[in-house]
Amino acid sequence: MYAPIQPVKVFERVAGQIEKRILDGELRSGDRLPTERDLAEQFHVSRTAVREAMKILAQKGLVDMRPGRGTIVINGAGAAMQNSIDLLMRMQLGEVGGSDNLVEVRRILEVEIAALAAARATEKDIAAMGKAIRMMDENMSDADAFIAADNTFHEALAQATQNALIFTLIHSIVNLLSAQRKHIFAVEGGPQRGQLHHKRILESVIRRDPEAARVAMGSHLLQVREDVSAARTQIDQ
């Protein structure tokens, strides 16, 4: 009928108090926390408990422990999320084995992202997307530069939704997207096909046409799925 009561460790309570102050805005990015000794005295706990609490906060991307400089509050939650998702995918599915799942997630997210971007994009957002497309045009033979610009385009599209959570979600899988795009880049005609779709998506955003943006992104992700399959065939051969 009742769940067992789990004792809360001292260091978890220390971490919880500091985390709450960060989330409430009392501690901001760049603020330096008191020394380990001072925190131990303030909390009336051991320095070991403080040290373990800092490790928890660092893993969450809330603080950065810098030897010789102390512990600094940071805004690293997005990076921590990105690393966690990236590690999970690599452990459970593998870079190539998880590609179908990644495309599926992208279809759920990015089709509507494109539509929202078409409705909400600012001129600055449109300029960022246009610049990314030009960078891809100029780097058709340079995989790293092309992929970096490809990532920038899709992040600019997410930014154009004016929804910070959507941008964080897309940014959190950027490493996975980079790995997938590297495989696609090796498929003959892959970059060129991708560029045609990128330009159609941008045209839809410029026209402020959400439905056309949905269709353009859906077509793009269908092309991605086909190229992922071709890349897998190349790897298996």
12: helix, strand or coil: helix
All domains in the chain, ordered by first residue:
10-75 (1.10.10.10), 79-236 (1.20.120.530)
- Got the DSSP string for 121-186? --HHHHHHHHHHHHHHHHTTT-HHHHHHHHHHHHHHHHHTTT-HHHHHHHHHTHHHHHHHHHHHHT
End-to-end Cα separation, the chain, in angstroms: 57
Give the residue, 235 or 126, on which the prediction is more confident: 126
Assess contact for 192 and 81: CB atoms under 8 A.
no
The string of pLDDT tens digits covering residues 111-149 is: 999 999 999 999 999 999 999 999 999 999 999 999 999
Predicted pLDDT at 66:
82
pTM listed for this prediction: 0.71
pLDDT surpasses 80 at 13:
yes
Predicted pLDDT at 115:
98
Provide the pLDDT confidence category of residue 94 given band limits of 50, 70 and 90. Answer: low
The string of pLDDT tens digits covering residues 56-85 is: 999 888 899 887 788 999 876 666 666 666
Q: Print burial letters for 203-234: b (CB count within 10 Å at least 16), e (below 16).
A: ebbeeebbebbbbbbeebbebbbebbebbbee
Give the residue, 80 or 47, on which the prediction is more confident: 47
Assess contact for 214 and 169: CB atoms under 8 A.
no
Looking from the CA of 103 toward its CB, the CA atoms found within 13 Å total 20
